[in-house]
């Protein structure tokens, strides 16, 4: 099974998600929609343009609701995640202690805020 | 054959461990940190806040042997801890289903909120680590 790993070309990994069949997670997951894939790819392009290639070190994967997840890891096991789903686009930040931040995905500022060296 | 759980359908499960499969994907399980990720608890809209899991560890482990589950792992959640950590928002109901591995099926209710899903990810432990993804 091919799957999400750290990739230099996240857009290729996002495109590959269209190959998933219904129920790919063993719990009846939806196939990954074209809008969600395009939104995720558009965001990756925006990240490259506004923050640079250092921010392209992310994991790419599907979500059960037919969406795309992009995941970055910050310092001290901080997780910074962006979701592109039929219900909308959002980001989520959490640490081992719990939820740190979340909100609608309107730009790339949250990545800079939580991942900047 | 595994013992039947001592619950009636619809009855709340208040203690013990439950098991949920996780795909072998880097967005579901962080192989370096050995942590389950939030993606493992994302719902479909039609799920109405409810996720599936199994009470019986042997059944859960046996379910991994199905070819389509090849490489999948199992995470385990402590029911009482889940309820306490989510202030009662997440709770477990016995909901057996027909077919293979359905005799100990439970529903984890109250998972609509992202903060609840973060808590589930943080308290989840690994019973069977998913195989490393193939690039």
- Please say if the pLDDT value at position B76 is more than 50: yes
Q: What is the pLDDT of residue B78?
A: 98
Residues of B with CB under 8 A from a CB of A: 21, 23-28, 30, 33, 35, 37-39, 42-45, 51-52, 63, 68-72, 114-115, 118-119, 121-122, 133-135
For chain A, the first-to-last Cα distance in angstroms comes to 34
Q: How many residues does chain B have?
A: 135
Q: What is the pTM of this model?
A: 0.92
Question: Averaged over B112-124, what is the pLDDT?
Answer: 96
What is the per-residue pLDDT across B2-38, written as a single tens digit (0 to 9) for each?
566 689 999 999 999 999 999 999 999 999 999 999 9
B74: DSSP letter: E
B20: which strand partners? B75
A106's CB contacts (< 8 A; 6+ apart) are: none
DSSP, res B134: B
DSSP class of residue A2 equals B
Which chain A residues are within 8 Å of B134, Cβ to Cβ? 1-3
Contacts of A5 (CB under 8 A, 6+ apart): A13, A59, B26, B133, B135
pLDDT by 10s per residue, chain A, length 117: 334 444 468 999 999 999 999 999 999 999 999 999 999 999 999 999 999 999 999 999 999 999 999 999 998 889 999 999 999 999 999 999 999 999 999 999 999 999 988
Secondary structure element (H or E) that encloses residue B121, with its range = helix B114-123
Name the residue ranges covered by the structural domains of chain A.
Answer: 10-115
Size of interface A-B (CB pairs under 8 A): 97
Judge contact between B66 and B101, C-beta under 8 A. no
Query: How far does the CA of residue A107 sit from the closest CA of chain B (Å)?
Result: 20
- The pLDDT > 90 percentage for chain B reads 87
């Amino acid at each position: 099974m091919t799957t999400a790993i750290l990739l230099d070309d996240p857009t290729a990994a996002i495109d590959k998600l269209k190959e998933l069949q219904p129920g790919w997670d063993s719990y009846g997951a939806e196939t990954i929609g074209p809008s969600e894939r395009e939104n995720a790819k558009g965001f990756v392009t925006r990240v490259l343009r506004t923050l640079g290639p250092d921010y392209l070190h992310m994991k790419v994967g599907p979500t059960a609701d037919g969406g795309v997840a992009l995941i970055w890891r910050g310092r001290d096991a901080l997780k910074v995640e962006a979701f592109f789903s039929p219900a909308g686009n959002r980001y989520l930040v959490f640490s081992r202690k719990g939820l740190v931040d979340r909100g609608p995905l309107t730009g790339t500022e949250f990545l800079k805020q939580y991942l900047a060296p | 054959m595994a013992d039947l759980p001592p619950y009636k359908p619809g009855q709340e499960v208040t203690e013990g461990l439950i098991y949920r499969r996780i795909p072998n994907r880097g967005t579901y399980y962080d192989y370096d940190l050995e942590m389950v990720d939030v993606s493992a608890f994302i719902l479909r809209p039609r799920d109405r806040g409810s996720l599936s899991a199994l009470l019986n560890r042997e059944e859960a482990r046996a379910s991994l042997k199905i070819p389509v589950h090849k490489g999948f792992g199992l995470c385990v959640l402590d029911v009482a801890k889940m309820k306490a950590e989510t202030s009662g928002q997440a709770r477990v109901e016995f909901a057996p289903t027909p077919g293979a591995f359905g005799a100990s099926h439970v529903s984890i209710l109250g998972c609509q909120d992202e903060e609840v899903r973060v808590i589930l990810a943080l308290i989840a432990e690994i019973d069977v680590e998913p195989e490393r993804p193939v690039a």
